[in-house]
Amino acid sequence: MADFDCIVIGGGPGGLAAAYGLHERGLKVAVVEKDLWGGTCPNRGCDPKKILMAAVEAQGRSEALQGHGLTGVPQIDWSSLMATKRAYTEKIPTGTQGGLQSAGIANYHGEASFEADGHLTVGNTQLSATNFIIATGQAPRIPNITGQEWLRTSNDFLDLDTLPADITLMGAGYVGIELAAIANAAGSQVHLIHHSDRPLRGFDGELVTALLKRLMVDGIDVQLDTDITAVTPADDQYQVTTASGKTWTTGLVFATAGRLPVTAGLHLERVNVTTTAHGIQVNDHLQTTNPRVFALGDVVDRPQPKLTPVAGFEGRYLTQTLAKKDQPAITYPVIPAVVYGKTQLAQLGVTPATATQQPETYAVSDLDLTSWYSYRRIQDADARIKVVTERSTQRIVGATMLSSEAEQLINYLDFVIQNQLTPTDIDQAILAYPTLASDLTYFG
């Protein structure tokens, strides 16, 4: 039986960060992956989505400049956009596995499961280790409705040969809103259906409403407080039925109603690793209820958002924890979150809602950016930011924004917050003008 210092289960961004880090520190490491090497983000998540989004963003920029120097809005050619995406994603699994092989990290392809004596089985191979890291991620949740077998997922959307003329998305979270933006830009009639009155609960309510309004202006049929109860085949399409009895016919229906931790098949009960409905239970050292087994990334039950940079941060943290004893508990820096599209919703640090509840501690500036040079130049009609400052230090501690530049500005503000910079500190640098970075001193 091959024996290792650490076996990482799951070859996604979190597991790989841990595996490379432990290997660099001289530990004998193996990684097990049951499906695509590289995991969700580069194969069927962030990266392929953002390749499709490049065309969406370009179209949005062009639309904004109609009557301001541009004529003609570019149309999306789905098959060539998908070919561009595939040219990227097709190389990911072999490239990722090749990287492990070149580095000398043992890698096994197959589903890992624990045995009662604590070793791991992958197919016919038995492996043992001093420590294990579970980094098995999440998978799309399929709601329990009549006709649930007809529901597609984001995995299917991101690999569609042809985009139907009409699609329905069940759930207006990150995935639902981003896929709606892509399909809408590519010419599909999109029905974005959400079961409550408030999608994206972690984000500022006013800016979420402004984002949904923009999606509706773009032609998306956004229905809130609507429960889809059945999806049934109708010729070569599907009939969607809601709890109120409303029906419509659509080309495909996608479950975008959240994701669930992937723990089935691991037999965690055999090694006394406890799970909750939200994932694997860990302490503040990412240690599970079995002291030899750790967990990180999307599969963990913790309050931080399930994002690639968070999984990578946890992988690097575990690298230190397993290589050295007596490491402090994990503490997270501020975590930026972005919902991508023609206009992007981004959030970081202290939220306006929290700040408003503590008026002695925080001040909130709600700024309409549409007249600021950076946004006027590109005719961004949505641009708005809420900046949270700490009264005692006058430092920025949080920001929520909507604009076609939000994905960039949020990272500049991340550096400002993380390094506790004041406008005077920022003024010490000469920044290229006129750019988003040269606006930084204007935010307070």
Ligand X SMILES: NC(=O)c1ccc[n+]([C@@H]2O[C@H](COP(=O)([O-])OP(=O)(O)OC[C@H]3O[C@@H](n4cnc5c(N)ncnc54)[C@H](O)[C@@H]3O)[C@@H](O)[C@H]2O)c1
Nearer to ligand FAD by Cβ, of 312 and 352: the residue is 312
With a CB cutoff of 8 Å and minimum separation 6, the contacts of 50 are: 340
Alpha-helical runs (H) found in 135-259: 154-157, 174-185, 205-217
Q: How many residues bind ligand X (CB under 6 A)?
A: 24
3-state secondary structure of 128: strand
Q: Give me 123's structure tokens.
A: 């197919």
- In sequence order, what are the beta bridge partners of 308? none
* Contact residue for ligand X among 99, 143, 251, 309 (CB under 6 A): 143
As measured in angstroms, the least distance from the Cβ of 178 to ligand X is 6
Write the binding mask 342 to 371 for ligand X: x where contact by CB under 6 A, - elsewhere. ------------------------------
User: φ and ψ at 418, to 5 degrees?
Assistant: -60, -35
Among 13, 173, 312, 352, binds ligand X (CB under 6 A): 173
By the rule CB under 6 A, 302 interacts with ligand FAD: no
Task: Decide if residue 336 touches ligand FAD (CB under 6 A).
Answer: no
Nearest distance in Å: CB 283, ligand FAD: 18
Q: Is residue 394 helix, strand or coil?
A: coil
Q: Is 170 in the site for ligand X (CB under 6 A)?
A: yes
Query: 3-state class of 252 per DSSP?
Result: strand
Is the alpha carbon torsion for 136, 140, 146, 151 positive or negative?
negative
Number of other CB atoms surrounding residue 225 within 10 Å: 12
CA 393, CA 431: separation in Å to the nearest integer?
Answer: 24
Q: Does 266 contact ligand FAD by CB under 6 A?
A: yes
Q: Is 175 in the site for ligand X (CB under 6 A)?
A: yes
CB of 98 to ligand FAD, least distance (A): 16
For the chain, give the number of residues: 444
Q: State yes or no: residue 384 binds ligand FAD (CB under 6 A).
A: no
Beta carbon of residue 150, minimum distance to ligand X (angstroms, whole number): 15
Residue in 175, 208, 346, 406 binding ligand FAD, rule: CB under 6 A: 175
Q: 91-100: b or e for each residue (b if 16 or more CB lie within 10 Å)?
A: ebbeebbeeb
Piece of the chain touching ligand X by CB under 6 A; list 75-83, 114-122, 338-346, 411-419: 338-346
Question: Does residue 307 belong to the site contacting ligand FAD (CB under 6 A)?
Answer: yes
Site for ligand X in 29-48 (CB under 6 A): none
Please give the order of strands across the beta sheet that includes 252-255.
Answer: 221-223, 189-193, 166-170, 252-255
Assign 192 to helix, strand or coil: strand
Cβ contact 390:361 at 8 Å = yes
Picking from 408, 342, 369, 434, the residue whose alpha carbon sits closest to that of residue 62 is: 342
Using Cβ positions, the residue closest to ligand X within the complex turns out to be 173
If contact means CB under 5 to 8 A according to the sort of partner, which of ligand X, ligand FAD, none does residue 176 touch?
ligand X
Cα distance between residue 49 and residue 178, in whole Å: 8
Cα gap 354→203, rounded to integer Å: 11
405 binds ligand X (CB under 6 A): no
* Residue from 23, 34, 191, 306 binding ligand X (CB under 6 A): 306
Asked if residue 259 lies in contact with residue 141, where contact means CB atoms within 8 angstroms, the answer is yes
* Segment interacting with ligand X (CB under 6 A) among 25-33, 286-294, 305-313, 382-390: 305-313
- Using rule CB under 6 A, residue 259 touches ligand X: yes
Between CA 155 and CA 43 the distance in angstroms is 9
Which of residues 137, 176, 261, 352 is near ligand FAD by CB under 6 A?
137
Residue 383 partner contact from ligand X, ligand FAD, none using kind-dependent CB cut-offs of 5 to 8 Å:
none
Residues that bind ligand FAD (CB under 6 A): 9-15, 32-36, 39-41, 45-46, 49, 111-112, 135-137, 154, 175, 262, 265-266, 297-298, 306-309, 311
Query: Which residue ranges make up the site for ligand X (CB under 6 A)?
Result: 143, 170-171, 173-176, 178, 193-196, 199, 228, 256-259, 305-307, 338-340
